[in-house]
Structure 1
Amino acid sequence: MNRARRLFIGVRPWALPFYAITLVVGFLTYNVFTLSAKVVLALLIAVIGELFIHSATNVINDVYDFRRGIDDKEVASIRYHFAYDPEIGHLGAYRLSLTFLAVALALGLVVALLGRPLALLLGIIGAVMGYAYSGPPGLKYRALGDIPVMLAAVLLTLTGYYIASGELALRGSW
């Protein structure tokens, strides 16, 4: 499998649409017919940033599952696993997740410059929740993993609405 395909499969693309859609749903709760092109651009950039945060979370999850012995070579035979790739390994996967987070941060800065500065903070909160899922404190290993998953959905809905409206409230236009 070539490097690009491994990268694509390794971030678990089948899991990525859920949160991106959640962000867009939050955006659509606002009266989208009154939005400027700049706000729509901010949404598109935010969606890409969210995909990078989610990808980083998926990769870091594999890293910590590897480190804790939860994922083994048998898991890697079922689906591609960065930690078991001899060219990447768990340290390379960890660095890859940090790279994804850095890209997301840069995209968050762009969204902030487009007039939605709190989107950067909301993205950082989301990234911390994603990391905490399997990285320290390892919420999923303490049967608490559903908490950041549910909170992320709420946070993304709120973020989408904020990007559309500039307000941190889900009032909608109904």
Structure 2
Amino acid sequence: MEPITSIKEELNEKSGFHIWWRLLRPHTLTASVVPVFVGTMFALTTHQINVWLFLAMLLASILIQSATNMFNEYYDFARGLDNEKSVGIGGTIVRDGISPTTVKRMAFTFFAIAILLGVYICIESSWWIALIGLICMLFGYLYTGGPLPIAYTPFGELFSGFFMGTVIIGISYYIQTSVITSSVIWLSIPIAIFIGGIMMSNNIRDLDGDKENGRKTVAILLGRKNAVRFLGIMFIAAYFLTGLYILSDVLPVWSVIAFLSVIKASDVIRKFRGKTKPLEMMPAMAATGKTNTLYGLLLGISLLVSNFF
């Protein structure tokens, strides 16, 4: 067996604060930041926004995403799926020796803080947000917890894209405007696709290990080469919808700058091609998160700029 120290060196894992930072899986947090930013900037095109509500929603979203990652760390370890050689995890339990119970308690603590923030958001907007928020947290838990984890099925990309993309954008928009329009739902779809793409990239990287452990992800059902092609199709669909929304005035013409992220999206596919080992695919996984970040940042900026021109 390869020594743990060797694996940590290959992954450039450090001790101290970095242990807890890795536990959050920061490369995935773009899936919680981008929807709140885009939803709020879209609200700004027609309404004045409450900055404190925006910040509370942003922090709550990050906490829920971080807790979901912690549950992933805990339950994959508890089911024997992760070991000291696993790539793509925080490694907090299997390589750093942190108690699994500590990780699970931290996840519930993050959920508790998110609930407190949710109470403030509800007081300032609507108590219906409480129900939707609790449903989001439930599915965050069920993503890897429960008797049949969503992450082990072909629906991981769909659920993550819908809840982290469409639902979070919808909430972020609603708490600022008190309405939900068809435009904000349409707007959320490309973001949902990119977030689903992050999950798809993760599953492409982990395909061999997931297959051995009985998972039935889309990547496993399609095979690695076809899964990479499907990821490319997802990107194309997101950019096609963006162009369509610009032409139909759902998005301002300034949103054409979001197409600059195509460079990073094509980089994802290039970095996946011909790779079969998890470590070799880490750059592609990181590039997928950066694609979502760049697209969402540029889209949000375009919505902000449209207010002044």
Q: Is the 8 A contact 2:47 2:177 kept in 1?
A: no
Change (3 A) 1:112 1:21: same
1:160 equivalent among 161, 172, 177: 172
Q: Is the 8 A contact 1:119 1:162 kept in 2?
A: no
| Deviations, residues 142-172 of structure 1 (Å, cap 9, x unaligned) | 2321221121111111111112211233446
For structure 1, the 5+ residue unaligned runs are none
> Sequence identity of aligned pairs in percent?
24
Aligned to 2:41: 28
Q: Is the 8 A contact 1:56 1:98 kept in 2?
A: yes
Aligned to 1:101: 111
Q: 3-state DSSP class of the match of 1:123?
A: helix
Aligned to 2:141: 131
Q: 1:119, 1:5 → 2: CA distance?
A: 34
Q: Is the 8 A contact 2:64 2:137 kept in 1?
A: yes
| Deviations, residues 61-107 of structure 1 (Å, cap 9, x unaligned) | 1111111221111127x754232233x32221111110110111111
Q: 1:104, 1:32 → 2: CA distance?
A: 27
Kindly provide the amino acid, as one letter, of the partner of residue 161 in structure 1: Y
Q: Is the 8 A contact 1:11 1:59 kept in 2?
A: yes
Aligned to 2:53: 42
Q: Is the 8 A contact 1:162 1:169 kept in 2?
A: no
Aligned to 1:91: 101
1:149 equivalent among 157, 160, 170: 160
Aligned to 2:124: 114
| Deviations, residues 94-127 of structure 1 (Å, cap 9, x unaligned) | 1111011011111111111223433332222211
CA RMSD of aligned residues (A): 2.2
Q: 1:54, 1:121 → 2: CA distance?
A: 17
Q: Is the 8 A contact 1:83 1:91 kept in 2?
A: no
Q: 1:62, 1:27 → 2: CA distance?
A: 31
Q: Is the 8 A contact 2:73 2:90 kept in 1?
A: no
Q: Structure with the greater relative contact order (CA < 8 A, sep ≥ 6): 1 or 2?
A: 1
Is 1:15 the counterpart of 2:28? The answer is: yes
The runs of 4+ residues in structure 1 deviating greater than 3 Å are 31-34, 168-174
